[in-house]
């Protein structure tokens, strides 16, 4: 039996969206829906506190590392657990639940359902593009040298396996046009692919993806975005950006369960990416003829038995963000970063590496001080102040990165500034 997601969730007794998603009876659903906080422009803090209260994070422990791994809210975990249990009752795969989840993630990313494939993480999505494009020895790929290993290693591996040549540019914190120019300067007649981190992992720079997409289109170059840090941090539309492919993690800013991710391939470009791994569900052919044909859409990159509960819960997390408001979430992240920035900037000998320009940054901020090594600073923030940041060792940046999202509050921004003040006083 292959239930669709709506029927399944109805039988499960959970609402499809947000807070109601974890309720198991109609009464609980009604109560959960009624409990959804009301947003007041004049006094938004009670709203944000109610959202934050859904997370399981240990009280007093400030988790400032959504960019590393985003916590999932309790109702999302409830959907995950209940879906798992319900599937186990009849030992079903839940494959019929994917179609509805695909619609949700397509809407969330500004794409069509046929352009969406569920993968395990952003790394897998990046790897499928790197392995699937028809590249030969000497073909060139350009990417940013702030790329995470999950974005860089798939290409470096293609260098080892197929002789693809890697060229890197350093993203500028000063102006978006500067980043475009740096990419343009590396393009040669052998350039086949440009990849950028939508938001760079070490310092949270937002790269000008619309302009890069245009440049690539004009030059006939494939444009792939490593969006591990963007989906769920701020809203955008992949169709409007105009990239050829995009990969993201579900377990960071969207707040889905661990080991969830999405790969987008633009409909018109689908056939240019050879599936690196195939199996049942990549093709709906029942016989084993050599003329195996793939299912229509990016979905062909899914194969074999999957964790349907994780995909359903990822969709519930995305729907919850839609209910809160994607712009509202982005504005909240920027406001918290601005609060940290103002406090940190007033401290002596602290350098902020993330650009202040709101077009070039969003919900992450990285900073360093010559007074204390980045790993020691990270350790002291955690050990002495219970503030979990992320050490930044990449490119000898020697900084600490802070991510601010729905699980955080203004009090934690102030705690961070107070902790930095105390640490610098004692150092
Ligand atoms: C830009 C970027 N790409 C890829 C990754 C890897 O993500 P995942 O482990 O979910 O594949 C990260 C993780 O922080 C990242 O920041």
Of all protein residues, whose CA lies closest to atom 5 belonging to ligand 1? 150
- Of 4 and 53, the structure prediction assigns the larger pLDDT to 53
> Which tokens go with 37?
């906080």
Give CA–CA dist 375/370, Å, rounded. Answer: 12
Over residues 397-413, the mean pLDDT reads 98
Over residues 85-89, the mean pLDDT reads 98
Q: How much is the pTM?
A: 0.94
Of all protein residues, whose CA lies closest to atom 7 belonging to ligand 1? 122
Contact 317/254 with Cβ under 8 angstroms? Answer: yes
pLDDT at 29: 60
pLDDT tens per residue across span 172-222? 888 888 999 999 999 999 999 999 999 999 999 999 999 999 999 999 999
Give CA–CA dist 114/136, Å, rounded. Answer: 28
CATH code 3.90.1150.10 region(s) in the chain: 327-426
pLDDT tens per residue across span 325-340? 999 999 999 999 999 9
Q: Which atom of ligand 1 is nearest to the CA of 199?
A: 1
pLDDT at 25: 60
Asked if residue 65 has pLDDT above 90, the reply is yes
**150 Cβ closer than 6 Å to some ligand 1 atom:** yes
Give CA–CA dist 409/320, Å, rounded. Answer: 18
| Residue 51 CA from chain centroid, whole number | 19
pLDDT tens per residue across span 49-60? 999 999 999 999
pLDDT at 28: 62
- Of 286 and 136, the structure prediction assigns the larger pLDDT to 136
Question: 12-16: which pairs have CB atoms within 8 A and are 24 or more residues apart?
Answer: 12/82, 12/83, 12/86, 13/82, 14/78, 14/79, 14/82, 16/316, 16/319
Q: Which of 144, 148, 205 to mutate to test the pocket of ligand 1 (most atoms within 8 A of CB)?
A: 148
pLDDT at 12: 41
Exposure on the CB side of residue 339, measured as CA atoms within 13 A: 19
Q: What percent of the chain has pLDDT over 70?
A: 92
**146 Cβ closer than 6 Å to some ligand 1 atom:** no
Distance 261 CA to ligand 1 centre (A): 10
Q: Which of 122, 248, 389, 403 to mutate to test the pocket of ligand 1 (most atoms within 8 A of CB)?
A: 122
**207 Cβ closer than 6 Å to some ligand 1 atom:** no
> Would you state the torsion angle of the CA atoms of residues 414, 382, 48, 55, taken in this order, to the nearest 10 degrees?
-170
pLDDT tens per residue across span 131-171? 999 999 999 999 999 999 999 999 999 999 999 999 999 99
Selecting from 3.30.1160.10, 3.30.750.210, 3.40.640.10, 1.10.357.10, what CATH number does the domain 95-321 have? 3.40.640.10
> Would you state the torsion angle of the CA atoms of residues 69, 213, 332, 49, taken in this order, to the nearest 10 degrees?
-40
DSSP 292: -
- Of 22 and 347, the structure prediction assigns the larger pLDDT to 347
Selecting from 3.30.70.330, 3.90.1150.10, 3.40.640.10, 3.40.630.30, what CATH number does the domain 327-426 have? 3.90.1150.10
pLDDT at 14: 39
Asked if residue 4 has pLDDT above 80, the reply is no
Give CA–CA dist 147/123, Å, rounded. Answer: 11
Average predicted confidence (pLDDT) for the chain: 93
Over residues 377-381, the mean pLDDT reads 98
Q: Which atom of ligand 1 is nearest to the CA of 251?
A: 10
**121 Cβ closer than 6 Å to some ligand 1 atom:** yes
pLDDT at 15: 39
């Amino acid at each position: 039996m292959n239930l669709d997601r709506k029927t399944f969730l109805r039988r499960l007794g959970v609402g499809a969206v947000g807070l109601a998603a974890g309720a198991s009876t109609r009464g609980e659903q009604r109560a959960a829906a009624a409990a959804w906080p009301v947003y007041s422009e004049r006094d938004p803090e009670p709203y944000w506190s109610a959202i934050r209260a859904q997370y399981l994070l240990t009280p007093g422990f400030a988790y400032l590392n959504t960019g590393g791994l985003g916590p999932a809210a309790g109702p999302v975990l409830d959907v995950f657990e209940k879906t798992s249990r319900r599937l186990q009752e009849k030992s079903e795969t839940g494959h019929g639940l994917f179609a509805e989840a695909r619609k949700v993630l397509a809407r969330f990313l500004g794409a069509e359902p046929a352009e969406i494939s569920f993968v395990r993480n952003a790394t897998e999505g990046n790897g499928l593009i790197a392995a699937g494009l028809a590249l030969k020895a000497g073909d060139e790929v350009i990417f940013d040298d702030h790329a995470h290993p999950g974005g860089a290693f798939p290409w470096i591996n293609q260098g080892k396996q197929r002789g693809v040549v890697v060229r890197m540019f350093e993203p500028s914190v000063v102006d978006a046009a500067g980043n475009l120019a740096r990419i343009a300067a590396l393009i040669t007649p052998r350039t086949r692919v440009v990849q950028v981190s939508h938001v760079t992992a070490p310092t949270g720079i937002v790269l000008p993806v619309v302009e890069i997409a245009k440049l690539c289109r004009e030059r006939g170059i494939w444009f792939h975005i490593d969006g591990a840090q963007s989906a769920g941090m701020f809203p955008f539309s992949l169709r409007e950006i105009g990239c050829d492919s995009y990969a993201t993690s579900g377990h960071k800013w969207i707040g889905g369960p661990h080991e969830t991710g999405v790969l987008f391939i633009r409909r018109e470009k689908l056939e240019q990416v050879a599936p690196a791994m195939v199996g049942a569900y990549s093709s709906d052919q029942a016989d084993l003829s050599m003329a195996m044909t793939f299912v229509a859409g990016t979905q062909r990159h899914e194969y074999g038995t999957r964790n349907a509960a994780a995909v359903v819960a990822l969709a519930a997390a995305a729907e919850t963000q839609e209910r809160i408001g994607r712009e509202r979430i982005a504005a909240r992240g920027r406001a918290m970063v601005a609060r940290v920035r103002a406090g940190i900037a007033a401290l002596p000998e602290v350098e902020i590496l993330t650009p202040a320009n709101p077009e070039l940054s969003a919900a992450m901020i990285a900073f360093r001080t010559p007074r204390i090594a980045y790993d020691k600073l990270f350790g002291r923030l955690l050990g002495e102040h219970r503030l979990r940041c992320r050490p930044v060792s990449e490119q000898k940046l020697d900084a600490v990165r802070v991510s601010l999202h729905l699980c955080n509050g203004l009090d934690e921004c102030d705690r961070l500034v107070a902790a930095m003040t105390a640490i610098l006083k004692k150092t």
